[in-house]
Chain A
Amino acid sequence: MNASTLTGWRKAAIITLLLLPGIGLIFLLVGSVIVMAIAQSFGYFNLAGESVLSLDHWSGQLANRLLWVSVIYSLKIAFVSAIVSVALAYPIALWLRNPFPGSASISALLKAPMMVPGLVAAFLFINIISFHGFLNEALVGLGLISTPMRLQNDRYGFGVMFLQVWKNMPFALLLLTGAVQSIHSDILDAARDLGAGALSRFRKIVLPLTLKAMQGALVIIFIGAAGDYSFQMIAGPTKVSSLAQYMYTVQHEFGQWNDAAVVAIVLMTVALTGSLFLAAMVQFIVAGRRS
């Protein structure tokens, strides 16, 4: 080993030691939970029996139709919520790009749902759409319908998707507004000068230049929506469970901690791979437009 290598090792060691309090804590907190869940899914940390290595929990759950129904349902909710939230946030971010009288108030108002806890939002939503809620009462009162409609806990999860979008669109707006505002006006003017109409400017300039912010918004919203519990419990369909709801049922109703750990691992995998797939898909679509 020569002197320079030793210096390199020493430097690396110092950097590692300096980073350890921060990164080490993150690894400890996040890693320990994940490791414990993985271990539990293979029979360890068994709270209701003997702790032994076993693949029974995995084979049992993977053969369970309810798990796959929950996976598909959670994927659907997460994909739709993330994409619709971002799709709605873009035009608003572009509209608010250049300040105008009242734009700050509108922006603040649009971000207000971020301050409302999810459970509160879900209950308010139920108040509106329930059988004798504000919407039905108003429609009946106006004579537009003769009997109230059954809107609560719809079988497709539209209510949950609506709540997810309502709650997450402001977050997407927050990320995208900054990204859109960072595009110099001259760049958009140049595109216009070179013959690009509004749609072309959006597709060829705005989208690529805000890609990272969009991917960030999609990933974070996707992960949150995939793991949703509260909206699903209040406003979700009664015949289908989200993965989080299913995991709770397995653990709470049946006392199967190890099976619940399997569902937890599946949930984390779905959230991670689904969000990465979404980000990659967007990257592919937008990159494909570059020329």
Chain B
Amino acid sequence: MAGLCIERVSKVFPNGYRVLDDIEIDVPSGEFLTLLGPSGCGKTTLLKAIAGFHPITSGRMLIDGRDITALPPERRDTAMCFQSYALFPHLTVAGNILFGPHQNRVDKNECATRLETVLRQVDLVAHSSKLPSALSGGQQQRVALARAMAMRPGIILFDEPLSNLDAKLRDQVRLEMRALQAQHGFTAIYVTHDQAEALAMSDRIVVMKGGRAEQIGSPGEIYYNPKNRFVADFIGAANVMKAEIIGRNDNGAWRINTALGELQIESGTEPAARNVYVCWRPEDAEIVPEGTTQQTNVFSAGVVSQAFLGNVTDFFVRVTPDHPPYRVQARGMQKLGQSVELRVNPARLSFLEAVE
């Protein structure tokens, strides 16, 4: 395993389009880092730049302190799992796995050891002599992972490796991959546009937009303390509203004036300006009994629509008809149009960027 340092990396296409803009990320050895963002945000370009397939315009990349910026892919200490798996269709599972070690002139005994080890790790021992076309999607995905692992690289790069699997298999393979990464401790850079996948697998997440890293942090930080409206909205559902800072009360909570009235925020971060955006997650509001006025952050709203999801019910509520609807998740069902008292947990409200 190896650490990766991405220093002020930018990439500009010949037509002037800046696909990567001043990216700066430090990935410690053994970390599972996810590049998350919508299509066209530059996450795959960054991954392929790390692999050496896309030359960068400026900046540099180091693996364990060694500058790899100008090195070709075959000379970097990385191995990639492609979205399409990119298995060699004319080679057996064993042939695919040993392609890299053979290229790197690993001796015969070592090749046999590596093959046996990775086949056992990905549970494909019985399939070693099969061609990729004879395997299921999940098995092919595991061959791709085994092929990368057999290289014993410092860093394994994953380009949306689960996107071709059905939902159930995706959940299963996701767990298997995370377990393998934890067991063997390889550094992993993982690209996905699936926020649930990113939250479930990562040590840290880089949320990207327009070639820039909008926020870097642990899944918890990203989810509960998004830096701006884009991150808040991209990771899960979020209720975003404008707020004016009134001041702080005796226990240190921020007092803010919003469309829902005066609310309190128990935030460890300072607001960026007097007028800022704030957000809260649908599950951070609860329906409280009517007349619960002694508590803070309570407001009344009418139920506009509701959807029973099994473990929880999704409500859309409006404070007044001219207000945008807010999304709340709670148990049970309400009558449409009924007024409910809602309380937002002050510790779960977070400051976003300043209102411009």
Contact = CB atoms under 8 A, between A and B. Distances in A.
Given A194-B151, A197-B74, A290-B90, A186 B82 contact: yes
Interface string B77-93: 01110111011111100
A94 interface: no
Nearest to B95: A291
Interface in A172-227: 184, 186-187, 189-197, 200, 204-205, 208-209
Contacts of A196: 74, 99, 103
Interface in A21-50: none
A291 B90 CA distance: 10
Interface in B94-109: 95, 98-100, 102-104
A108 to B, nearest CB: 25
Interface of A is mostly: helix
Nearest to A196: B103
B53 interface: yes
B73 A290 contact: no
A193 B88 contact: no
B51 interface: yes
A195 B89 contact: no
A192 B89 contact: no
Contacts of B100: 194-195
Contacts, number: 65
A291 B95 CA distance: 5
A195 B80 contact: no
Interface in B138-165: 147, 151
A194 B148 CA distance: 8
B14 to A, nearest CB: 11
Given A186-B84, A291-B95, A291-B98, A193 B74 contact: yes
Contact of A192 (B73, B90, B95, B98): B73
Contacts of B72: 192
A193 B99 contact: no
A196 B80 CA distance: 14
Given A194-B151, A195-B100, A196-B74, A187 B86 contact: yes
Nearest to B159: A186
Interface string A274-289: 0000000000000000
A208 B90 contact: yes
A189 B84 contact: no
Contacts of B103: 194-196, 200
A193 B71 CA distance: 12
Contacts of A186: 82-84, 86
A288 to B, nearest CB: 13
A291 B102 CA distance: 9
A194 B95 contact: no
8 contacts: A186-B86, A187-B88, A189-B82, A192-B53, A193-B74, A196-B103, A209-B89, A291-B95
